[in-house]
Amino acid sequence: MQCVVITGASSGIGLATAKTFQQAGWRIINISRGACPLDGIINITADLAHPTTITTISTSLLDNLEDCTTLSLIHNAARLDHDTVQGVDPQALRQTYEINLIAPAALNRVLLPAMSTGSSILYVGSTLGEKAVPGSFSYVTSKHASIGMMRATCQDLAGSGIHTACINPGFTDTEMLRDHIPANVMSEIAQMSAFGRLIDPAEIAATLLFAAQNPVLNGSVLNANLGQIER
Ligand X SMILES: NC(=O)c1ccc[n+]([C@@H]2O[C@H](COP(=O)([O-])OP(=O)(O)OC[C@H]3O[C@@H](n4cnc5c(N)ncnc54)[C@H](OP(=O)(O)O)[C@@H]3O)[C@@H](O)[C@H]2O)c1
Among 18, 29, 77, 157, binds ligand X (CB under 6 A): 77
Q: Which residue lies nearer to ligand X by CB, 141 or 172?
A: 172
Question: Residues 88, 132, 176, 190: which binds ligand X (CB under 6 A)?
Answer: 176
The residue type found at 26 is W
Q: Which of 68, 149, 177, 212 binds ligand X (CB under 6 A)?
A: 177
Work out which of 38, 44, 49, 93 binds ligand X, going by CB under 6 A.
49
Q: Does 138 bind ligand X (CB under 6 A)?
A: no
Contacts (CB under 6 A) with ligand X, residues 53-72 = none
Interface residue with ligand X among 61, 102, 124, 149 (CB under 6 A) is 124
Spatial CB neighbours of 122, under 8 Å, sequence gap ≥ 6: 72, 73, 74, 75, 164, 165, 166, 167, 208, 211, 212
94 binds ligand X (CB under 6 A): no
Segments of 132-214 assigned E as strands: 163-169
# of chain residues touching ligand X (CB under 6 A): 27
How many CB atoms sit inside 10 A of residue 159's CB? 6
Contact with ligand X (CB under 6 A): which of 21, 26, 137, 171? 171
Which letter, b or e, does each residue of 83-122 get, where b requires 16 or more Cβ atoms within 10 Å of its Cβ? beeeeeeeeebebbbbbbbbbbebbbebbbebbeebbbbb
Cβ at position 27, least distance to ligand X in Å: 18
H and E: helices and strands count for the chain: 8, 7
Q: Is 79 in the site for ligand X (CB under 6 A)?
A: yes
Using only the alpha carbons of the chain, give its radius of gyration.
17
Going by C-alpha positions, the residue among 119, 141, 24, 118 that lies closest to residue 74 is: 119
Residues binding ligand X (CB under 6 A): 7-8, 10-14, 32-34, 47-49, 76-79, 99, 124, 126, 169, 171-172, 174-177
